[in-house]
Amino acid sequence: MSQRLDPLPTEWIERDRLVPFSFEGSRYTGYAGDTVSSALWAAGQRVLVRSFKYHRPRGLLSFANHDVNTLMQADSQLSVRADVTPVTAGLNLAAVNTWGGVSRDRASLLNALSAFLPVGFYYKTFHGRFFPFWERTIRKLGGLSAIDPTAPRLRTPKQYDFCDVLVVGAGPSGLAAAIAAAEAGAEVVLVDENARAGGSGSYQLGGDLDQAKQTAELIQMAAAQPRIRQHLQTEAAGYYADGWVPLVEPERMTKLRAKAVIVASGAFEQPAVFHNNDLPGVMLASAAQRLIYRYAVKPMRRAVVLVGNSDGYRAALDLAANGVEVMAVVDLRAVQVSPEAHAIRAQGIPIFSQYGIYAAETNPAQDGVCAAVICPLSDTGEPRLDQRQTINCDGIVVSVGWAPAANLLYQTGTQMRFEERVEQFVPDRLPEGVFACGRVNGVYQFDKKLIDGRRAGLEAAAYLGFAQSVPSPVPAAESESPSHPWPVVSHPKGKNFVDFDEDLQLKDFYHAAQEGFDNIELLKRYTTVGMGPSQGKHSNMNALRILANINNKSPQVVGTTTARPFFHPVPFSHLAGRGFTPERHTPLYSRHLALSAEMVKAGLWQRPEFYRQSGFSRADCIRQEALNVRQRVGLIDVSSLGKLELRGPDAAEFLERLYTGRYQSLKSGRTRYALMLDESGVVMDDGVIARLGPEHFYFTTTTSGSSRIYREISRLALQWRFNCGIVNLTGARAAINLAGPRSQQVLSQLTSADLSAEAFPYLAVREAEVAGIPAILMRVGFVGEWGYEIHVPALSAPALWDALMQAGAADGIRPFGLQAQRLLRLEKGHVIVGLDTDGLTTPAEANLSWAVKSDKPFFLGQRSLAIVGQRSQSKTLVGFTLPASFTGQPPEECNLVIDQGEIAGRVTSIAFSPSLERYIGLAYVPPAQSADGTSLAIRNSDGAMIPATVSSTPCYDPDNRRQKESFLTEAV
Amino acid sequence: MPLRLLKFGLVKSYPESRMFRQRDRLRPTYDAVIIGGGGHGLATAYYLAKDHGINNVAVLERGYLGGGNTGRNTTIIRSNYLTPAGVKFYDQSLRLWQALSETLDLNLFYTNRGHFTLAHTEASLRTLRWRAEVNKHYGIDSEVVDPQTVQAACPHMDLDCGGAPVMGALYHAPGSIARHDAVAWGYGREADRQGVEIHQQTEVTGIRVEGGRVTGVETIRGAIATPKVICAVAGFTPRILDWVGLRSPLKIHPLQAMVSEPMKAWLDPIIVSSSLHVYVSQTARGELVMGASLDPYELHSTRSTLDFAEGLAARMLDLFPFLSQAKVVRQWAGMADMTPDFAPIMGKTDIEGFYLDAGWGTWGFKATPICGKTMAETVARDRNHELIREFSLDRFSKYALVGEKGAASVGH
Ligand SMILES: Cc1cc2nc3c(=O)[nH]c(=O)nc-3n(C[C@H](O)[C@H](O)[C@H](O)COP(=O)(O)OP(=O)(O)OC[C@H]3O[C@@H](n4cnc5c(N)ncnc54)[C@H](O)[C@@H]3O)c2cc1C
């Protein structure tokens, strides 16, 4: 049975476009332009969901997404707000959190038990032995929507935008503000969460379409104004520092940076508290008015209208003008003399002044209201039950007051003050660049809202230097308060709900206060008021009034809870955006893939772990790569190393302060190991520093440290005021390490530089062309063989790689990956910072004291080292080996060294050495156990104890001859 | 339904009294004054009275009970730390937690869910193994597990994690969550019952020190004489240390979190990924409580940032792509008092009678019971409790840090 009205000039629906959808398994048809709620209500569906705790039937309340009375699920679309979600063809909806459907919810048993479930009941019991059982039960009952684990990831684009003035809310005051600011010359963005602009101007009409016409004109003016861009169906979800406002639209999030913000977000209408105030059919007046004027839906046939302000009279006129039989207007206040009251009386509608609704009565089907029980109120607001009377109706319309939609204002840092005149919090001190107008500013009458909006628009424009005009004064006070101070009538049976999301009744607040939760924040946390998905939009104000009443304090003193983002909940997809995982590739990435490299993540970098050879295992491949370096020649892409260049008169001195070694004395053309500590003397990073000229250095950092070290060095250069410039070349340059006894032979084919040991000795650096590419060559030996680290411009790296591969073909050149490199350096006992050190390792512990020149005047961490040095050292890094005969599961990195049942240290590196044909590794042990030949016990993860022996490093080529002397003549 | 609830339905007037009494006046003297009515301050008060019979004690709180980090935290409770000192300490805390609802006779919703720390790189897998080995050594249930085990415990997780596949995880079976506010209320109520006075809206504005010893505190409601002051104010610690001239390396960084709409239970364990900077658990109400790492800069503020919510949401979808259309309700922040070694600062100080409980950064909720217990003993005996000896303030000048960074950075 359709409840549609005849076509109205204000309606948003398109009657020629039918939209079929289903709800709880039944089919429905709405019109394009309908929301889910309006379409269902039009079809006569009254029970839309079940309440969270007691599973009571619920219908429309705010019809504005200020409650979760209409929270639904559409397959994998969770928590659909039926109030504001457009119907679309094929939508398949169900109420959330029911046990057997919305009409026969088995969990409604909880409603009968509610007397035993007082506020916070779950804190008082269920603990102890059976808690796991109770917890399972509670978890089953809790929660609203149910996830669909197969739902796909949505990749929602993000957009950035800028404007002079952002106006939040396109109601009368927001429209007026936007127009005024734009006319003054500002670029304006106007947002509104509704599908169309106009706000209350298009539906709170008092039975007269004239105001809707004025609003329509404003909408047209705004649309015609070229400096206004409108975003409808868009929520300003929060306000963040520096004018950042995320605008959440159905398809995307726009991050808007506004120079000024005008908050014209209006007010949330508030429910009245009486017995059964949650029955389907009891709704806020603004909900009924929106049903009528936007969707041409008759909200009910016969209504009782509970009012506490003149808005209520206008709502009654709207109802009466649209075919609803208004049985009575029940006014919480004393007799009113106003044009609206006059108009009501003129229509023969009885007005009960200083009356309240004591209870709503439920119909036999238990799915809606069938009567209102009203009674006079004493001067203190007590119901005089002896004079109560029952009025039959199928709907109760409530208009007792408002709460400012000030969430955004609070987030801007606005100080709000409770203004008794309008019974509402209003902005007291606005931060610079933030303006407010309309209801959020305590201005309610249509004409005054326009004036106030214009004032805010001009003020914002003036603030930005567009308008010189003195803003017009704030409109005079309202003649009456739009909100009633105490829209509450108690009832011995309770079920007079304050928070509909959380099923909180009036008595819950008194009980919570009785238990000591009589501070607004504690009250919120104990009762959970305002903690539901609508975050208190319809409940915080009444909760505050109740607490103020309990404490006998003013709302100002009671205060509000903190307003935080978001205004309405925001989908993960919108926040996440398209989503990507950043990854860095060296210029040689495609070469590695072509060579079947297995890539591994090293920080953000993708690096070859090893190169797969068909027919060989991973371990075999790594072993072959390592042996090839030892016996012939290999090359590895080390482009991910941090690469920095330092120039200037103070460069050497600066390095000397940053690093532990000496660099003033380093000769041009030479390199030196570089170790950096933090201020507490802990090993932070290492690399190689090459001096290319008197005031010119080129140096490397670890892969993982590169950006951090660059940042830290830049900071220190500024702080210490050194005259030198730092350039981060990490991305601009690539580097290849060519190593092995035949490396000189291979390189000699590509360069005219003199590579002889005399002309280019170990640890020297040269600038020369390699394969026609300008390069920096360093003779360093991390892997313990004769070798060159060749640094070239990134774009030339593939050419260099190809040239080396080609030149080395005859010598058996092979690329090697990270695993082989780790193994080779382990054979040499070289420490990898971050692997063999941790967040507290000192140089002495890692056997790096040789690199620390403590007698320098200053270096980072020096003072700390001196203090630490006075303590006895508790651990030291040693090499160890497993017996050659060891088979079975070797220890892993970070397995513990155990001594007499206690933790003595840990393994930091371990690998099988093909050169030594046994497992070798590095481990921390107490200094007393660090002598060569000491037996260690390592505990595997499975508990097995593995015997090992301390052995001095390097275990391969102990005299380091291979990296220094040419083996060109040696046969393989 | 439990019998305990029967009384609520059967009696006429509501049968409960105040959990913490309202005191009109401050006394002129107390045996001890605790600054900070968070979990730590209240627990210390409770154990002082309960274990040591010292109940002439005032807890002074500038706002409301639990309104600091206690009421903002994401409530992960675990003991799988990295250093022996840390592991032993948190293990004792866990033992107290397991009986705490009954001790305080308040259901704290302490629920044992199991805790997975995911590794997406070899390096993090290594650190996790280190933790597992140290943990096992001290009898703590921790093990490195493979991706299949993670999948079995959390069938809906996408192990590919948006391109950073899970390589393994540290599984810590005792990992739990609890209802944070209730912990403050429970300790508050029991402390009150033991005679401790709790004063909310009572900000301390100064500390009196004469001749190197504490003699009293000043508050917005007047001065109080006391020989012992316990400072448990988390993010406010630096200003209080300034008053008494103590130096610490504490730095205050904002730590943010956010919560989703309630959904039907689908996530049992607590999932942490330090590489992705995300952790999440699902409350009994069905909300997902999510967090990430610290804001990278020092700031004395509890404002929220959009990029935090954006980054965290993206990482959440890496783990759980199907949540795309689920919604985030609210975000918030606390002020974390960070030490360089990610271990706390506890115990006596150079000022006689001034006891410090700070440096709890992002990880102090789980320590609430053991902090209360050990601080109470430390105050009662004027000697640092054995379990907290390594956490003293002077470790920084002595370079005897307790390196928990690897275990504490994102996991909380
Ligand atoms: C977002 C977030 C997530 C976290 N997640 C976890 C987690 O998962 N697991 C975990 O173990 N820990 C976590 N933590 C850390 C944990 O919350 C804190 O370490 C812990 O709660 C500290 O408790 P507290 O009692 O010491 O401090 P608080 O609870 O902050 O209490 C200190 C109190 O001191 C009061 N105060 C300050 N100055 C004064 C004064 N001058 N006079 C009177 N009173 C004063 C404050 O108002 C405050 O109430 C998290 C923290 C945050 C912010």
A416-429 pLDDT, tens digit per residue, is: 999 999 999 999 99
Q: Are B138 and B153 in the same domain? A: yes
Round to whole Å and give the CA distance between A742 and A788.
11
Q: Are B394 and B273 in the same domain? A: no
**pLDDT of A260 higher than 80:** yes
Question: Do the Cβ atoms of A153 and B331 come within 8 Å?
Answer: no
Question: Do the Cβ atoms of A151 and B322 come within 8 Å?
Answer: yes
Domain extent at residue B398: 28-72+181-249+341-407
Q: How far is B276 from chain A (nearest CA, A)?
A: 9
Binned at pLDDT 50, 70 and 90, residue A477 comes out as: low
8 Å CB contact between A96 and A145? yes
Name the residue among B64, B286, B327 with its Cβ closest to that of A522. B64
Compute and round to an integer the Cα radius of gyration of chain B.
21
**Which residue's CA is the closest to the ligand 1 atom numbered 41?**
B204
Q: Are B185 and B334 in the same domain? A: no
Strands A634-637 and A814-815: parallel
Strand ranges (DSSP E) for A489-641? 497-499, 504-505, 570-571, 597-602, 605-611, 634-637
Three-class SS state of A780: coil
Across chain B, mean pLDDT equals 94
Strand ranges (DSSP E) for A875-959? 876-881, 896-899, 902-913, 918-925, 935-939, 945-950
CB contacts < 8 Å between A and B, how many? 282
- Residues 24-43 of chain B whose Cβ lies under 8 A from any Cβ of chain A: none
Q: What is the mean pLDDT of residues A119-134?
A: 89
pLDDT of residue B408: 55
**pLDDT of A257 higher than 70:** yes
**pLDDT of A361 higher than 80:** yes
Q: What is the mean pLDDT of residues A824-836?
A: 95
Q: What is the mean pLDDT of residues A263-273?
A: 98
8 Å CB contact between A557 and B321? no
Q: What is the mean pLDDT of residues A197-216?
A: 95
Three-point CA angle B51, B57, B58, nearest 5°: 135
Question: Residues of A with CB below 8 A from B305's CB?
Answer: 240-241
Name the residue among B105, B130, B321 with its Cβ closest to that of A906. B130
pLDDT of residue A112: 87
Q: What is the mean pLDDT of residues A790-796?
A: 98
Helices B84-104 and B122-137 pack at an angle, to 10 degrees, of 70
Give the binding-site residues of ligand 1, using a 6 Å CB cut-off.
B 35-41, 60-63, 67-70, 72-76, 203-204, 232-234, 236, 255, 257, 291, 334, 336, 360, 362-366, 412
pLDDT of residue B410: 46
Q: What is the mean pLDDT of residues A527-554?
A: 96
pLDDT of residue A840: 86
Residue B11 lies in a domain: no
Binned at pLDDT 50, 70 and 90, residue A955 comes out as: confident
Which CATH number fits the domain that encloses residue B236?
3.50.50.60
Question: Residues of B with CB below 8 A from A894's CB?
Answer: 126-127, 129-130, 133
8 Å CB contact between A541 and A509? no
Question: Residues of A with CB below 8 A from B121's CB?
Answer: 601
Residue B7 lies in a domain: no
Binned at pLDDT 50, 70 and 90, residue B13 comes out as: confident
pLDDT of residue B289: 98
Ligand 1 atom showing the smallest separation from residue B361 Cα: 19
Q: Are B255 and B334 in the same domain? A: yes
Question: Which pLDDT tens digit goes with each residue over A886-920?
Answer: 999 999 999 999 999 999 999 999 999 998 999 99
Question: Do the Cβ atoms of A564 and B332 come within 8 Å?
Answer: yes
Mutate to test the interface with A, among B12, B107, B289, B308 (most CBs of A within 10 A): B107
8 Å CB contact between A561 and A540? yes
Q: How far is CA A145 from CA A68, A96, A287, A662, B308, in A?
A: 12, 5, 24, 65, 25
Domain limit, last residue, from B338, B367, B385: B338
Residue B10 lies in a domain: no
pLDDT of residue A19: 98
Which residue in B has a C-alpha nearest to residue A609's C-alpha?
B122
Residue B22 lies in a domain: no
**pLDDT of A968 higher than 60:** no
Task: Give the distance (Å) from ligand 1 centre to CA of residue B229.
Answer: 18
Q: How far is CA A814 from CA A348, A817, B28, in A?
A: 100, 10, 82
**pLDDT of A473 higher than 80:** no
Round to whole Å and give the CA distance between B240 and B34.
13
Range with the lowest mean pLDDT among A228-232, A655-659, A702-706, B267-271? Answer: A702-706
Question: Which pLDDT tens digit goes with each residue over A615-625?
Answer: 999 999 999 99
Give pTM, 2 decimals: 0.94
As given in the structure block, the two tokens for residue A60 are 């429309």
Q: For ligand 1, pick from B35, B271, B346, B365 the residue to mutate: most ligand atoms within 8 Å of CB.
A: B365
**pLDDT of B102 higher than 50:** yes
Sequence-distant (6+) residues with CB within 8 A of A256 are A160, A161, A162, A163, A166, A189, A244, A245, A246, A247
Q: Are B255 and B333 in the same domain? A: yes
pLDDT of residue B73: 97
Question: Do the Cβ atoms of A238 and B163 come within 8 Å?
Answer: no
Which residue in B has a C-alpha nearest to residue A247's C-alpha?
B306
ipTM over 0.90: yes
Question: Which pLDDT tens digit goes with each residue over A743-768?
Answer: 999 999 999 999 999 999 999 999 99
- Residues 270-299 of chain B whose Cβ lies under 8 A from any Cβ of chain A: 284-286
Question: Which pLDDT tens digit goes with each residue over A17-56?
Answer: 999 999 999 999 999 999 999 999 999 999 999 999 999 9
Residue B99 lies in a domain: no
Name the residue among A142, A510, A868 with its Cβ closest to that of B262. A142
Task: Give the distance (Å) from ligand 1 centre to CA of residue B296.
Answer: 19
pLDDT of residue A972: 36
Round to whole Å and give the CA distance between A714 and A50.
61
Q: Are B169 and B197 in the same domain? A: no
- Judged by phi (left if over 0) then psi (alpha if -120 to 50, else beta), residue B399 lies in left
Q: How many domains does chain B have?
A: 2
Q: Are B241 and B351 in the same domain? A: yes
Which CATH number fits the domain that encloses residue B123?
3.30.9.10
Q: Are B332 and B375 in the same domain? A: no
Which residue in A has a C-alpha nearest to residue B262's C-alpha?
A143
Which residue in B has a C-alpha nearest to residue A245's C-alpha?
B306
Round to whole Å and give the CA distance between B392 and B324.
46
Q: What is the mean pLDDT of residues B99-107?
A: 96
Residue B87 lies in a domain: no
Residue B96 lies in a domain: no
Residue with tokens 């800028």: A162
Q: How far is A453 from chain B (nearest CA, A)?
A: 28
Q: Are B201 and B225 in the same domain? A: yes
8 Å CB contact between B305 and B296? no
**Beta-carbon-side half-sphere exposure of residue A812 (alpha carbons within 13 Å):** 14
Round to whole Å and give the CA distance between B59 and B44.
9
Question: Do the Cβ atoms of B406 and A838 come within 8 Å?
Answer: yes
User: Is B331 near chain A, with CB under 8 Å?
Assistant: yes
Q: Are B154 and B208 in the same domain? A: no
**pLDDT of A471 higher than 70:** no
Domain limit, last residue, from B338, B359, B385: B338
Q: Are B305 and B232 in the same domain? A: no
Question: Residues of B with CB below 8 A from A135's CB?
Answer: 109, 111, 284
8 Å CB contact between B2 and A126? yes
**pLDDT of B412 higher than 60:** no
Residue B89 lies in a domain: no
**pLDDT of B194 higher than 90:** yes
Three-class SS state of A45: coil
Share of chain B above pLDDT 90, in %: 87
Q: Are B130 and B256 in the same domain? A: yes
As given in the structure block, the two tokens for residue A416 are 């709000």
Question: Residues of B with CB below 8 A from A564's CB?
Answer: 304, 330-332
Choose among B39, B17, B22: nearest CA to B199.
B22
Which residue in B has a C-alpha nearest to residue A521's C-alpha?
B64
Question: Which pLDDT tens digit goes with each residue over B18-54?
Answer: 999 989 899 999 999 999 999 999 999 999 999 999 9
pLDDT of residue B398: 82
pLDDT of residue A971: 38
Binned at pLDDT 50, 70 and 90, residue A234 comes out as: very high
Question: Do the Cβ atoms of B106 and A124 come within 8 Å?
Answer: yes
Question: Do the Cβ atoms of B329 and A535 come within 8 Å?
Answer: yes
Question: Residues of A with CB below 8 A from B122's CB?
Answer: 600
pLDDT of residue A59: 97
Round to whole Å and give the CA distance between A45 and A23.
10
